[in-house]
Structure 1
């Protein structure tokens, strides 16, 4: 299998004389727009692939940039695929980085890679490009997924070894007729599951500040807050109902981001490691992810045997580790996912919360196949009565179950 990694703009020069068709992941941001300019300058036939995972990008803005550089814009709505292939498995796997915050790009990059590979094969493109650099974990996640999907051809990011100052890219794009890009600020990576921020004022973990304007779901509201009472219903591990209203997962997640976000639930800050071990700071908001995983765990503890849950915790760690290290389509994550999915069949019921500023208090669990007690006093009396009817006698290495006689020696 021929798999060749592209790492610099010099590699684009080498490819220019040997291939014409290139597909590149396109967000409309500075890096992806600058890459379109460099590809156009080299005479490539470019497909700019914009994959919608719920980031609410303006299609008109994307079209303006691609038209400017003569690229063909292809927009793909992959929100449902993202939910089915990444989000629902993440809920079941309790997918948090080191148990702290919900993972996000680890879930989205495999979907982006899969869409890119499918379109590259359909269009006959020999090159798949993206814009991740060495300070972004997306580099190994996108490259890893493309390789694991079996794409035969060049793939990678010219920014891996071709780091350019942001101001230089802004100046060159302005000279090419696109003057609207701004000086360096916080980088935003958004999808329907999580909004993630890095760089700019977040660069230094020892002294960082987070502009309040970054937040959307958890931003303060000037309207009447929603009801603090919240219920979430699951069927075989899938969220299907919110507050008594039957909703598809896509609509449920959007509404939960709005309702839980109004209480400021789901803000996180923390470090994440790069491929060689260095750490970078990331800030994120993920209200729906926070409550769906919390509700799932409560319902799981109500329906699954304790030893099964302990075994599942180990599989969750393997699942998350493989996802964040860019091995989404590898055998270990898929095997862990199969184990975790098998445990979800019993996870059906409803979890009730009361929301308050920054937190959700558990108010009730109602499972369809519960293992919990609802009346401990009655249970203790029933069990005592049942167990008092027999006792175990050990004699000559054999065990006999005898009727219980009051006052008999134990």
Structure 2
């Protein structure tokens, strides 16, 4: 039964089980032409044979755009400069990719004259929100089709059966246990044994990082150079944004860097458990933080940490194309001018150890910080500062207010009374 009047729909297509099944489902239920769109954001071999697979599934064409440099420059490096980390661990690899994919999906819809867009996100996850908020921000006129919220397919087995009945080429089997998402920034793992948070991840699950136990016994030193908060070179060799991330993924993965096991709070209200491999991103985050500690004043650095929490929340929630994110970026950009210099790191068995940092805008002055004799800091000045800084504590004590649950004796002011 045809559900609605849709002439042409652009599907965000990965070639996996879900989107392969969605192609014929859209044709059967909406009676429309299906144009598949794939964003190349660093999936690698996952793109091989994709066009043939899309056409055999019933799509009229497949459009692939190479977005790796745009992804790194305009999305990943913005997250890096903001210092955005979700719930203390997650470097937002999947979250930040969705608005970029959806943005180009909308552009393709305009180019091919489509009146609808579709995605393969489930009704339980965060991605449905990220895709649809982007559609809403960029062209709310487009009809949005989310098959997982409409169809009768309820399991991986159902989807495989549906594909086989229609001779749709899929490589998934019922024995596949992990749901993965891969791009330039990370590789995520969900499902299977990971659904029990007590289970330790199996070593065979990891694909781009060596276990710390098996990593080289000798450390490796690397130097990362920044210009106004943006990475520009590794070990003195200038590279493009995507090249830097690719290079650090290889180096970091070799040394067991960037593994994260996280039980996170999904936007839709439930908890989920994911394991992430983000070698290059973890190295860049560490280097960027070290350089900021050298060049940003205390108040700016501390306030930027507060901004980073909100920034991460916006990215995770799909609010990339929002006025607040744009406003926060204006603040972040204003802080990054002096974040120029080089950080030296030592990589060793899953650890990132800071070995040095330098910047022409360093606020660190050895003549100010030295414990030896100096002419720029009069230590006796500290007495007046401490008296003023601690004045609220002094007043609290004089008023007999409780301290750490202990009752303090109330002072007797009678002797100060005038006759």
Separation in structure 2 between the aligned mates of residue 224 and residue 297 of structure 1, nearest angstrom = 26
Structure 2: distance between partners of 1:69 and 1:34: 8
Specify the alignment match of 1:147 in structure 2: 136
Tell me, yes or no, if the aligned pair for 2:215 and 2:256 is still in contact at 8 Å. Answer: no
Shift of 1:368: 1.6
Does 2:226 match 1:234?
yes
Match of 2:347 among 352, 355, 364: 355
**Distance in 1 separating the partners of 2:20 and 2:159:** 9
Comparing 27-36 with 59-68, which one deviates more in the overlay? 59-68
1:297 equivalent to 2:279? Answer no
Aligned runs of 1:275-286 on 2, under 5 Å?
275-286=267-278
Q: Is the 8 A contact 1:132 1:157 kept in 2?
A: yes
1:193 aligns with 185
Give 3-state SS (helix, strand or coil) of 1:14's partner: coil
Question: Which residue of the other structure, out of 149, 166, 191, is the alignment partner of 1:160?
Answer: 149
**Counterpart position of 1:93:** 82
Number of the residue aligned with 1:82: 71
Give the counterpart of 2:52 among 49, 59, 64: 64
Could you say which structure has the higher strand fraction? 1
Question: C-alpha separation between the residues in 2 aligned to 1:106 and 1:59?
Answer: 20
Contact 1:94–1:293 (CA<8 Å) still a contact in 2?
yes
SS of residue matched to 1:64: helix
CA contact (8 A) 1:350 1:366 kept: yes
Measured in 2, the distance between the counterparts of 1:217 and 1:60 equals 19
1:226–1:259 contact (8 Å) kept in structure 2: no
Pair 1:25-2:9 in alignment? no
Equivalent position SS for 2:336: helix
| Match of residue 214 from structure 1 | 205
Provide the rounded CA distance (Å) in 2 between the counterparts of 1:253 and 1:354.
17
Q: Structure 2 vs 1, CA of residues 386 and 226 (structure 1 numbering), >3 Å: closer, same or farther?
A: closer
User: CA contact under 8 A between 1:116 and 1:128: conserved in structure 2?
Assistant: yes
Which stretch shows the higher mean deviation, 245-254 or 157-166? 157-166
Q: 1:337 aligns with which of 329, 352, 355?
A: 329
In 2, Cα distance between the equivalents of 1:257 and 1:116? 27
Q: 1:364 and 1:284, CA in 2 relative to 1: closer, same or farther beyond 3 A?
A: same
SS of the counterpart of 1:382? coil
TM score, norm. by length of structure 1: 0.86
2:113 is the counterpart of 1:124: yes
Deviation at 1:103, TM superposition (A): 1.3
Question: Structure 1 residues 180, 99: CA separation in 2 closer, same or farther (over 3 Å shift)?
Answer: closer
Q: Which runs of 5+ in 2 are unaligned?
A: 385-419
Distance in 1 separating the partners of 2:56 and 2:200:
36
RMSD: 2.4
**Contact 2:263/2:271 (CA < 8 Å) preserved in 1?**
yes
Distance 2:128 2:199 in 1: 24
Contact 2:21 2:57 in 1 (8 A): no
Deviation of residue 212 (structure 1)?
A: 2.7
Match of 1:373 in 2: 365
Structure 1: unaligned runs, 5 residues or longer: 1-9, 392-410
2:166 match: 176
- Checking the alignment, whether the CA contact within 8 Å between 2:17 and 2:170 is kept in structure 1 is no
Q: Does 1:267 find its partner at 2:259?
A: yes
Instruction: Measure the CA separation in 1 of the matches of 2:114 and 2:165.
Output: 29
Change (3 A) 1:176 1:365: same
Q: Which deviates further from its counterpart, 182-191 or 64-73?
A: 64-73
TM-score with structure 2 length normalisation? 0.84
C-alpha separation in 2, matches of 1:254 and 1:69:
32
Partner of 2:243: 251
Among residues 14, 19, 33, which one is paired with 1:45 in the alignment?
Answer: 33
- State how far apart, in whole Å, the 1-side matches of 2:330 and 2:45 are: 34
**CA-CA distance at 1:33 after TM superposition:** 0.3
Taking the aligned partners of 2:9 and 2:221, their CA distance within structure 1 comes to 51
Count of residues paired in the alignment = 375
Q: 1:379 to 1:192 in 2, by over 3 A?
A: farther
1:225–1:262 Cα contact (<8 Å) kept: no
